[in-house]
Structure 1
Amino acid sequence: MKPIMDAHIHLDMYKQKEQETILQEMESYKVEALIAVSYSLLSCKRNLELHKMDPRIKVAYGHHPEQDLPSRKNQEELERFLLSNSGTMVAIGEIGLPYYNMQKTNPSLSLDPYVHFLERMIVIASQIKKPVVLHAVYDHAPIVCDLLEKHNSKQAHFHWFKGDAKTVERMIENGYHVSFTPDCLYEPEIQELIQRYPIEQMMVETDGPWGFKGPFANQMTHPKMIHAVIEQIATLKKLPVDDVYQQIYLNTKMFYAL
C-alpha cells in the first residue's frame, strides 16, 4: 500500500463509533487525509468541529442538491458561514443539481432555483479562490459546465461522475477532475470512463457512508477500499500500480492545495 487520500467522504454522517474507527485506522491503511464534504449548514458546522479535532480531516462546506433548497434566510446564513470560515476549508461542496430527486421522486421539480443557488456558490468559490466539489450527472452535467465556463471556474471536481461522451470530452478539455469510487470494480459504465479520462485529472473517493456491492457488499464503507480502486484503475489503464498511486496522490494534493 502507498499513501492515499479519500477525495470525497461524508464523515459527519457516520455514527460516532464508525468515525472513531476510521480515524484510528487511517495510519494503518496509509490514508493521509479525508476530504469531508458537507450536506447542509448543520453538516458544515459538524465538519468544522471534526476538522478542529483532527487536522487530517480537510473540510468542504456546501449544501447537497438532492434535497430541498435552503430558505432565503438559510442561504444567507450559509453564505456568511462560507465567507467567515474560508480559512478552514479546502473547497465549497457538495453542491450541484438534483438529478436523482427529479428522476425518482419529483419529476416536476423546477430546476431554475437550484441553478441559481449553484451559480451563487460558484461565484463565492471564485471570490475566495476555492475549488468546487460537484454533484452533477447525466443531463445536468452540461448545465453545470455552462456555469463553470460562464465564470471561468477551472477548479472543479465532479465526484462519482456519470455522463455522455460529449460532456466527458468537454470536461477533459476544461481540465476538470473526476473521482472514482469502489463501484469501479463492478460497474462497466464507470470502467469505461476510467479508460477514457486522463489519469492526470483523476482522484479516488468512497462517498461514505454510501454502501457498495460486489466485493464490498454488507461492509461499512471505509477509506481503505480506495486501495482496490487504485489497483483497478491501474489494471484498466494498463499502468504500473505504483505510478497510479503517485499520480492520483499528487492530483489530490495539488487540487486541494494540501
Structure 2
Amino acid sequence: MHVLIGCRVSLNRHMYSSDMENLGKMFFRSMATYRKKFVDIGANLTDRVFNGFYHGSAKHKDDLQIVLKRAVNVGIEKIIVTSGCLSDVEEALKLVKGTDNLFTTVGCHPTRCTEFEESPSPDSYYESLAELIKTNKDKVVAVGECGLDYDRLHFCQKDVQKKYFEKQLQLAADFNLPLFLHHRNCHDDFREIIFRNLHIMPKRGVVHSFDGTMEQAQFFIDNGFSIGLNGCSLKTEENLEVVKQLPIDKLMIETDAPWCEIKQSHASFKFVQTKFPSVKKEKWNESSIVKGRNEPCCIVQVLEVIAGVKQCNIDELADVVYSNTVNMFFSHLDQ
C-alpha cells in the first residue's frame, strides 16, 4: 500500500498553498495504486456540507464530484447513499439516477418517525415510500435507515419509534429487500421487534454504525444480520475488543460521511496507516479533505483499523468484506 509518508509533519503553517495542492495531488495519485475494492454501505451524500454549506453558510464551492473522484481513487466501487425520510429519499434518488456506482436506501430514521403521523395518514406515508421503491428498483438496495434510537427521544418518543420501525420491517418484506438498521441504547425492544418479525424477512440486512456489546452483536449474527463498522464503532478499547471477536464473514464497512470520522483521540487511531492531507473548510482546496468532514475515501482507514485489531491480512479482509456486501445488497440487481 502506498501512503504519503510524513504528510502530517509536512503540512505546516510555513507551506505555500501551491505546495499544499501539489502535495495533495501526489497523495491522491499514489492512492490510485491502492487497488482493494470497497463498498461504502452508508454515506450521507445529500448533506449540504458536500455542497460547501456548513450551518447554513457557504464556506467553499460545491465539491461533491471531487469527493466522489477521491472515493474512486481509493477503490470504492459502490456507495449506498443513506436516506432518513421521504424527502431524503427523493433527494437521494436525484443524486444517484444516471450513475453506475451510487445507490440509496428508502426508509424513515427512528428520530423522524413522527413524519408518519404528520402526513395525511401513516398509510399514505408508507405507500409513498413503497412507490419510490417500486419505481426505482435499479437504485434502491435496502429499506432504512430504520430502527430505534433511545438516546434522542426528544425527537421522537419510544412508542412512535417502535410502531413505525415494525411497519418498515413489513416494507422490507414486501419488496424482499435487506434492512439498513439503526440501533442505539434500545437493545431489548429492538431484539423483541426483530425476533417477532424474522419470519417475514427472507433477506436480513446490516446493523450499521454498530457500537454495542458482543452479546448484542451475537444476537444479530445468529439471526442472519451483518455488522456495519465505521469510525463511531471504533472509538474505545471496549469497541475494539468487540471488533476483535466479530467474524469477518459478517462484517461490512462504511464511513457514515460526513460524520463518524476516526479521530486522533479514538483508541483506533493507532492502527490508521493512511493519512490524508486536510485543511480547514475556510482554506478549502481540491487536493485536500476538509478537517472534521468525513468522506468516503476515508473508508480505507476503517479497513486498516479492523485488520490491525484482528491481526489479519488486509487484502484478504478487504475481499471478504466486499463479497459480504455485494451479496447482501447488489445480487438482486443481476437477476
Asked if TM exceeds 0.5, the reply is yes
Equivalent-residue separation in structure 2 for 1:42 and 1:134 (angstroms): 19
Unaligned runs of 5+ in 1: none
Aligned to 2:169: 122
**Shift of residue 189, structure 1, vs aligned partner:** 3.1
> Does residue 46 of structure 2 align to residue 12 of structure 1?
yes
Aligned to 1:94: 145
Q: Is the 8 A contact 1:138 1:162 kept in 2?
A: no
TM-score (norm: length of structure 1): 0.88
Q: Is the 8 A contact 1:183 1:190 kept in 2?
A: no
Amino acid at match of 1:43: D
Equivalent-residue separation in structure 2 for 1:35 and 1:156 (angstroms): 13
Equivalent-residue separation in structure 2 for 1:186 and 1:179 (angstroms): 14
Aligned to 1:113: 160
Equivalent-residue separation in structure 1 for 2:140 and 2:132 (angstroms): 11
Equivalent-residue separation in structure 1 for 2:308 and 2:168 (angstroms): 37
CA-based RMSD of the aligned residues comes to 2.3
Equivalent-residue separation in structure 2 for 1:82 and 1:54 (angstroms): 17
Equivalent-residue separation in structure 1 for 2:319 and 2:197 (angstroms): 28
Cα deviation code 1:62-92 (max 9, x no counterpart): 1111234213243442333333333431111
Cα deviation code 1:109-160 (max 9, x no counterpart): 6422322211221112112111010001333342443244253454221001
Q: Is the 8 A contact 2:113 2:161 kept in 1?
A: no
What SS does the aligned partner of 2:105 have?
Answer: strand
Cα deviation code 1:40-63 (max 9, x no counterpart): 111101111111142211111111
Q: Is the 8 A contact 1:66 1:100 kept in 2?
A: no
Q: 1:82 to 1:55 in 2, by over 3 A?
A: same
Amino acid at match of 2:142: A
Equivalent-residue separation in structure 2 for 1:131 and 1:74 (angstroms): 20
Q: Is the 8 A contact 2:213 2:242 kept in 1?
A: no
What does 1:131-210 align with in structure 2 at a 5 Å threshold? 131-140=178-187, 141-183=190-232, 186-210=235-259
Q: Is the 8 A contact 1:191 1:236 kept in 2?
A: yes
**Shift of residue 30, structure 1, vs aligned partner:** 1.1
> Does residue 298 of structure 2 align to residue 222 of structure 1?
no
Q: 1:151 to 1:115 in 2, by over 3 A?
A: farther
Unaligned runs of 5+ in 2: 1-33, 52-61, 270-274, 276-289
Equivalent-residue separation in structure 1 for 2:196 and 2:184 (angstroms): 14
TM-score (norm: length of structure 2): 0.69
What is the aligned length? 254
Aligned to 2:319: 246
Q: Is the 8 A contact 1:184 1:229 kept in 2?
A: no
Cα deviation code 1:158-217 (max 9, x no counterpart): 001133443222112112111111245542232122112111010110111115332689
Q: 1:52 to 1:201 in 2, by over 3 A?
A: same
What SS does the aligned partner of 1:74 have?
Answer: helix
Identity %: 24
Equivalent-residue separation in structure 1 for 2:183 and 2:245 (angstroms): 18
**Shift of residue 18, structure 1, vs aligned partner:** 3.6
